[in-house]
């Protein structure tokens, strides 16, 4: 179960939480690697009803102000915690984000990161990836960069671990 106690909520949030619980169960004990990225894009990819429903629910969450509710760096860089999945395996902290033509803070993923990329503008990309799933394996680092317009995201951080570094 995903705990969202004390976090903003709204009409459409329970439906997204149900989707995310099924997603966490699908991921199970899988290592965060290229194989998981392939499985996510095959079974939960943009052409699936699941992906499209989750995307629409996140957009509803932005309108209802329970997703992407914190300003990080102006209106073009927003995030918001959705909940914590205490599954005893990855214990994902699940976040939402909305970025427009932004280069974010350089950071490392000690345990990895999973991103569900949802372009708002058809040509927008996140770290050179369009609509779909991108998995950063443990130990990888990057500048979270959106180009070509606006993207919304759901991202999962194992145990919430992320390390920010100076440029």
**DSSP state string for 58-83:** HHHHHHHTSSS-EESSSTTEEEEEEE
Domain span at residue 17 reads 2-164
Res 11 pLDDT > 80: yes
- What pLDDT shows up at residue 167? 60
Q: For residues 151 and 68, what is the distance between their CA atoms, to the nearest angstrom? A: 11
Percent of the chain at pLDDT > 70 equals 99
The helix (run of H) or strand (run of E) holding residue 131 is none
**Widest Cα–Cα separation across the chain:** 40
Q: What is the CATH number of the domain that holds 98?
A: 2.60.120.10
**How does residue 61 score in pLDDT terms, banded at 50, 70 and 90?**
very high
Q: For residues 130 and 132, what is the distance between their CA atoms, to the nearest angstrom? A: 6
Going by C-alpha positions, the residue among 151, 103, 98, 100 that lies closest to residue 129 is 151
For the segment 114-145, what is each residue's pLDDT rounded down to a tens digit? Answer: 999 999 999 999 999 999 999 999 999 999 99
Q: How many domains does the chain have?
A: 1
The helix (run of H) or strand (run of E) holding residue 57 is helix 49-64
Q: Mean pLDDT, to the nearest integer, of 77-88?
A: 93
Going by C-alpha positions, the residue among 138, 107, 114 that lies closest to residue 38 is 114
Q: What is the mean pLDDT of the chain?
A: 95
- What pLDDT shows up at residue 73? 84
Q: Mean pLDDT, to the nearest integer, of 137-161?
A: 96
Q: For residues 36 and 87, what is the distance between their CA atoms, to the nearest angstrom? A: 17
**How does residue 45 score in pLDDT terms, banded at 50, 70 and 90?**
very high
Helices (H), the chain: 13-27, 34-43, 49-64
Is 28 in contact with 89 (CB distance < 8 Å)? yes
Cross-sheet strand order for the sheet of 140-142 = 140-142, 107-109, 163-164
Total-model pTM? 0.95
Res 75 pLDDT > 90: no
């Amino acid at each position: 179960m995903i705990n969202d106690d004390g976090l903003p909520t709204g009409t459409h949030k329970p439906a997204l939480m149900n989707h995310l619980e099924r997603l966490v169960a699908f991921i199970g004990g899988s290592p965060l690697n290229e194989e998981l990225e392939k499985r996510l894009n095959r079974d939960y990819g943009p052409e699936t009803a699941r992906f499209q429903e989750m995307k629409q629910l996140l957009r509803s969450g932005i309108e209802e102000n329970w997703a992407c509710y914190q300003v990080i760096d102006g209106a073009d860089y927003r995030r918001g915690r959705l909940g914590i999945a205490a599954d005893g395996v990855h214990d994902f902290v699940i976040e939402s984000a909305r970025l427009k033509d932004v280069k974010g803070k350089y950071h490392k993923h000690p345990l990895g990161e999973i991103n569900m990329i949802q372009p708002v503008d058809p040509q927008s990309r996140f770290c050179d990836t369009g609509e779909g799933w991108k998995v950063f394996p443990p130990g990888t680092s990057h500048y979270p960069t959106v180009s070509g317009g606006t993207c919304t995201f759901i991202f999962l951080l194992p145990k919430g671990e992320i390390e920010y570094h100076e440029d």
